[in-house]
Amino acid sequence: MSESHQRITDIDDKGIDAGLALFNEDRVKQIIKHVINNEASPRLNAYLSTCVHCGLCSDSCHYYLSRDKDPSYSPAGKVKESLLALTQGRKITPEILKKAAIVAYTRCNLCRRCSLYCTLGVDIAYLISVVRRICFLCGVVPHYIQDTANSHSATFNQMWIKNDEWLDSLYWQEEEAREELPELTIPVEREGADIMYSVIGPEPKFRAQLIYQAAVIMEKAGINWTFPGTRGWDNSDMCMFTGDYDMMGRLKKAHFDTALRLKVDRIVMGECGHAFRSVFDTGNRYLGWKMPPVPVIHAVEFYNELLTENRITIRKKLDTPVTFHDPCNIVRGRGLHDIARKVVRSCCDTLIEMTPNREHNFCCGAGGGVINCGPNFKKERVLGNRVKAQQLFDAKAKGAEIVITPCHNCHGGLEDLIHHYGIDMEIKFLSDILYETMEI
Amino acid sequence: MAHTLYTFMTGIGFQLALMICLAGTAMKLVLFFMRAAKKDKAFLAFFSFRYAGRSILFHLVPYMSRTSRMHPEMTAITIAFHAGVLTLPFFFSAHGVLLSDSGLPRLPRFPDIVSDTLAVTGLIALLFLMGRRLFLRTVRFISSPADHLLLVSLVALFLSGIWAHFQMPEFLWASILHMAAGNLLIASIPFTRLSHIFYMPLTRGYAGSEFGGVRMAKDW
């Protein structure tokens, strides 16, 4: 067996192994029965009965294409090795459960691309989410992502950031930004502001420049905005991906409650895809809201508004050729591909397209919580996305020097691809480009 | 013996198969909606006839969806098979006679050349699908014994139908085999993968509703 095709059951993960140490077949069967009978949508049975096993979904999956069309990486193949292995076999062994967990957590990005390629409309991402839910209830979850979910439970953010550290980060960035714009403030807890700006935990932790840039953009656009000073500032949600739906609901409730307490007109979310999925699509539904109780828009839509309303002006367009990577959760999840391109074209001279793109774009390989499963699964992730690396190579060959993507997970995923495959490209957020090119 | 079987297959056998099919389908759909109301309110809240219809249309019209363009041969084969299997039961002249004799309204009937062409292309399409299931690694990996059995039943249905129509040797037994296969397939619709006949408008329709109405994205 080649190194790149390590046997699933040989992969070690502290979290999965700890859960399996407590393995009890009867309990696992009870959990499966509970999830299928009491929690899962009737769509689950409809999907399983409807799927005619034609295999047409295969060519939609970046893992399958990147892994030399190994059938176990096809969407239907992954369902067979996870959901069907758990629900249709007579016996469940620790190996079967481990395999199901690894397939569901680390070999599917829940990117929903395969939904576009199944004539019958089978939602593979939903089926894989059901497997994750079962694994979560069995306590068999990769260590790193569970640690992030634990952080959500304890601190309501994904990076174990204490509230004073959050506030310190804001004051620190305010101080930094005042060197450039002496009148600038980063408003915190401003009741009645038009906008509550929410970000994900890694922004104050690793990417504080994004808070700086957001503050400069808001200041120059004359926006009446605020950051929350309490929990609810972090819009991210790894619990949605581990299968801890109760905690997902608590996180989204804290987020919406904060916006309602601050009496803002709407929430503008920073450049993150999975958080948008959680706030706009998944978490709100768990709480019983058909649509979020406070209007929510993604940063891409917000930047477009600012440019369209001439609230900010572009000083000089970037002359370096760029390419644009479509994040699944705001493209297949919200159709923002054309708006994003409009923003890119407003501040860049040359946009080189990768194909396929827009709704048919390949995932970065990091989404769906896969990157959060940690270093044990990094190799699998980069080898499983050779097709995206090829797209980047092709864009580079056409002259693109920078890849822009308005999503934190995509940054992580593309960064790993760029390093692994040796692609000489820079990755930037839209706010990086806006800040660089706008009139200040 | 043969004549008794023939009478059974065209009479009680067919009626029984049809009843099982209709009752099973109704039961499956009622259960689906009852469970959706209890466990998946989003399904009912977000289902949109407009976007469901749009999505179904784009996926059914050949070469409109990207997936059908990426697999042109599979698209052609699927059309050939479905054209035969969905029209011949109603519009093939011999079926028309049996249906009229059962007291059902008289349906238009295909000229023999049309029926023969549809039957033969349908059979060729089925053999292609069978070959695909047996020899394509990816399809073989996800195939279950039930998938193979279904294809074998369909091949038996088409082959025996053609055999009987052209009155080849022992065509009476071929007719009986054809009717037995047909009745079994009709009865199995709600309980096998054939349920995609009635689930597809719900599954593809719901995907279309979510993509069109909530996610504002094309899904074809």
A212, A264: one domain: yes
A135, A268: one domain: no
Q: Which of A410, A394, A362 is nearest to A60 (CA)?
A: A362
What is the distance in angstroms between the Cα of B205 and the nearest Cα belonging to chain A?
7
Q: pLDDT exceeding 70 applies to what percent of chain B?
A: 100
pLDDT in tens, A346-377: 999 999 999 999 999 999 999 999 999 999 99
Encoded tokens for A227? 């950051």
| Residue A46 within a domain | yes
Q: pLDDT exceeding 70 applies to what percent of chain A?
A: 99
b/e code A353-392 from CB counts within 10 Å (16+ = b): ebeebbbbbbbbbbbbbbbbbbebbbebbbbbbbbbbbbb
Q: What is the model's pLDDT at position A3?
A: 46
* Chosen domain end from A308, A338, A372: A308
How far apart are the C-alpha atoms of A297 and A197, rounded to whole Å? Answer: 10
Mean pLDDT on A211-233: 97
A75, A197: one domain: no
A155, A82: one domain: no
Nearest residue of B to residue A119, measured between CA atoms? B59
A154, A303: one domain: yes
Q: Which of A318, A304, A310, A330 is nearest to A428 (CA)?
A: A318
Helix, coil or strand: residue A200: coil
Number of domains in chain A: 3
Q: What is the model's pLDDT at position B101?
A: 87
| Chain B residues in contact with A359 (beta carbon < 8 A) | 217-219
| Residue A384 within a domain | yes
How far apart are the C-alpha atoms of B2 and A426, rounded to whole Å? Answer: 77
Q: Are A439 and A313 in contact (CB under 8 A)?
A: yes
A50: nearest CB among B68, B132, B195:
B195
A126, A163: one domain: no
Average per-residue pLDDT for chain A: 96
Q: Are A200 and A278 in contact (CB under 8 A)?
A: no
| Residue A313 within a domain | no
pLDDT in tens, A140-199: 999 999 999 999 999 999 999 999 999 999 999 999 999 999 999 999 999 999 999 999
pLDDT in tens, A77-118: 999 999 999 999 899 999 999 999 999 999 999 999 999 999
Mark yes or no for CB contact A74/B196 under 8 Å: no
A118, A38: one domain: yes
| Residue A168 within a domain | yes
Q: What is the model's pLDDT at position A4?
A: 57
A239, A346: one domain: no
Q: Are A124 and A76 in contact (CB under 8 A)?
A: yes
A298, A155: one domain: yes
Q: What is the model's pLDDT at position B53?
A: 98
| Residue A315 within a domain | no
Mark yes or no for CB contact B138/A55 under 8 Å: yes
* Chosen domain end from A308, A333, A360: A308
Q: What is the model's pLDDT at position B104?
A: 85
pLDDT in tens, A258-296: 999 999 999 999 999 999 999 999 999 999 999 999 999
SS3 breakdown of chain A: % helix, strand, coil, rounded to 5?
55, 5, 35
Nearest residue of A to residue B70, measured between CA atoms? A59
pLDDT in tens, A390-419: 999 999 999 999 999 999 999 999 999 999
A171, A295: one domain: yes
Count of C-beta atoms within a 10 Å radius of residue A297: 18
A198: which strand partners? A269
Mark yes or no for CB contact B137/A285 under 8 Å: no
pLDDT in tens, B74-109: 999 999 999 999 999 999 999 999 989 888 889 999
A178, A215: one domain: yes
Tell me how far apart the terminal alpha carbons of chain B are, to the nearest angstrom: 52
How far apart are the C-alpha atoms of A220 and A226, rounded to whole Å? Answer: 15
A359: nearest CB among B141, B142, B218:
B218
Instruction: Please determine, for residue A1, whether its predicted confidence score (pLDDT) is greater than 50.
Output: no
Q: Amino acid identity, residue A175?
A: E
| Chain A residues in contact with B45 (beta carbon < 8 A) | 290
Say if B73 is an interface residue toward chain A (CB within 8 Å): no
Instruction: Please determine, for residue A6, whether its predicted confidence score (pLDDT) is greater than 80.
Output: no
What is the distance in angstroms between the Cα of B140 and the nearest Cα belonging to chain A?
9
Q: Which of A119, A180, A107 is nearest to A380 (CA)?
A: A107
- Domain residue ranges in chain B: 2-70+123-214
The CATH number that applies at residue A333 is 3.40.50
Task: Look up tokens 């079962």; give the residue.
Answer: A134
| Residue A424 within a domain | yes
* Phi/psi at A363 (5° precision): -65, 160
| Residue A360 within a domain | yes
Range of the domain at A185: 147-308
Instruction: Please determine, for residue A382, whether its predicted confidence score (pLDDT) is greater than 90.
Output: yes
Encoded tokens for A270? 């920073």
* Chain-centroid distance, C-alpha A214: 20
| Residue A314 within a domain | no
ipTM at complex level = 0.95
pLDDT in tens, B109-159: 999 999 999 999 999 999 999 999 999 999 999 999 999 999 999 999 999
* Residue A428, H or E segment: strand A426-428
Say if B211 is an interface residue toward chain A (CB within 8 Å): yes
How far apart are the C-alpha atoms of A350 and A324, rounded to whole Å? Answer: 11
* Chosen domain end from A251, A284, A308: A308
Instruction: Please determine, for residue B72, whether its predicted confidence score (pLDDT) is greater than 80.
Output: yes
With cut-offs at 50, 70 and 90, classify the pLDDT of residue A323. very high
A248, A342: one domain: no
Tell me how far apart the terminal alpha carbons of chain A are, to the nearest angstrom: 57
